[in-house]
Amino acid sequence: MRKSVLALAAVTAVLATPMLAAAQDAGHWIVRARAVHLDPANGNSGDLQAALSSVTGVPTEAAINSRTIPEVDISYFFTPNIAAELVLTYPQKQDVSLKTAAGSAKIGSFKHLPPTLTAQYHFTGFGKLRPYLGAGLNYTNISDVQFDPALSALQLNLKRNSFGLAAQAGVDYELGGGWLLNLDVKKVQIRTDVTAAGTKLGTFKVDPLLVGLGIGKRF
């Protein structure tokens, strides 16, 4: 009888552990710090490419550089599976170049601040691994736009605000003591109109792929 009770208690404990761990997630905050590689799509609308090509006399596209940036995100769990995440950084500087078959040349720079808010579903039942999917919205503020003085006659400028969609996939690995190792991938819609003397030339599509690796702490 005693052995049966002990066996039943052991089985109950094993089955209850995942549910207890999941219950502890509800209402908890997670703060993560990541190093994120930003890889822009560098898409040019047809009218923008045509306008740039008419100035240079050869097929030309605008592009910005890839770079690695710091990122901090804050997640709040409404249930063991449902969370919201706010992604933050400080204004990041990007170089603007014109690309032709002969190569590329820097023509200016700008700074962008791209906070992103996503709703996430976190999957349970994978032990220490907690994969998740997310979708949400991005707002990007563009500032400190500067172009080469040699191009001043063109009066080039960029639209300062961008609103777009964001999709996300990632996984947390529990290290113990509330600490997490995190891998995160996001695709974000960031676009800006390019103007010359107040006239729209076309749309530049940054639309970066963001791959991040970092650590987090559950509170």
Sorted by where each begins, the domain ranges of the chain are: 26-218
What SS3 state is found at 210? Answer: strand
pTM: 0.85
- Residue 46 token pair: 């047809």
Cβ(216)–Cβ(184) below 8 Å: no
Share of the chain above pLDDT 70, in %: 88
Q: Give Rg (Cα) of the chain.
A: 23
First to last CA, the chain: 42
Q: Reduced to 3 states, what is the DSSP secondary structure of residue 124?
A: coil
Q: How far apart are CA 91 and CA 114, in angstroms?
A: 8
Q: How far apart are CA 52 and CA 69, in angstroms?
A: 29
The mean pLDDT of 92-113, rounded to a whole number, is: 97
Q: What is the dihedral of CA 72, 78, 82, 85, to 10 degrees?
A: -20
- The span from the CA of 189 to the CA of 174, in Å, is 30
pLDDT at 130 over 70: yes
CATH for 26-218 is 2.40.160.20
The mean of the pLDDT values for the chain is 90
